[in-house]
Amino acid sequence: MANSMMEIVAVVLTLVGLIGAAASTGMPMWRVTAFIGENIIVMETRWEGLWMNCFRQANIRMQCKAYDSLLALPQDLQAARGLMCTALALCGIGILISVVGMQCTSCIVNNDKAKRLVLIVAGTLILMSCICVLIPVSWTGHVIITDFYNPLLIDAQRRELGEALYIGWVASAFLFAGGCIFICCNIQSDEKDSRRVWTRR
């Protein structure tokens, strides 16, 4: 019963992580323009995302435009596109596989060891998706911070961390928690079963 509850908790955490990763992937707010200086009047704000960039002028709604070419993106955002899409695919597959192995489902009958193995595989896929989210988000954050303190860049070239990066970090934490619960609970169960077999012998 305790394992069944932990499996449900893991699925919920993973779903929250998946939603967060999807939101981070779609949001155009990975990099935000930073206007610095007392004499600069902020008339325009710019956002850069994986798929489009947006800008908003004073008293005008936000306007977005998709990138004309993949080559127009900097290297960190190019890599982020691929890694974030990979993360979403791995996480989705991991959730589907986990449903097969959960105790509250009857997809696998009378074979607890197979169910545990399925959940360990699902947890591994979810942890891989966590890494695929964490790498591009942290890489982009590192580039932004490094450029921000680069004395060779003018103020107009400096960017700040966008909301999508924070959502990505939180999503990776949820995915990490979900994957760890799937793996740890089922590895412990396997160890208990092997001890029982040895004591019977």
Between 157 and 70, whose confidence is greater?
70
Q: How far apart are the first and last CA of the chain?
A: 28
Residue 139 scores a pLDDT above 50:
yes
Report the predicted TM-score, pTM, of the whole model to 2 decimal places: 0.83
For 58, phi then psi, to 5°, come to -60, 130
Pick the CATH number of 2-27+73-194 from 3.30.300.20, 1.20.140.150, 3.90.550.10, 3.90.1140.10: 1.20.140.150
- Parse the chain into domains and list their residue ranges: 2-27+73-194
**Residue 30, SS3?**
coil
Which tens digit of pLDDT belongs to each residue from 72-93?
Answer: 778 888 899 999 999 999 999 9
Cβ atoms of residues 181 and 123 within 8 Å:
yes
Residue 1 scores a pLDDT above 70:
no
Q: Distance of CA 127 to CAs 61, 113, 145, 177, 192, Å?
A: 39, 21, 27, 9, 24
Residue 201 scores a pLDDT above 60:
no
| Nearest-angstrom CA–CA distance, 156 and 167 | 25
| pLDDT for position 157 | 66
Which tens digit of pLDDT belongs to each residue from 90-116?
Answer: 999 999 999 888 877 777 777 778 888
Beta bridge partners of residue 160, listed in sequence order: 32
Residue 129 scores a pLDDT above 70:
yes
| pLDDT for position 9 | 92
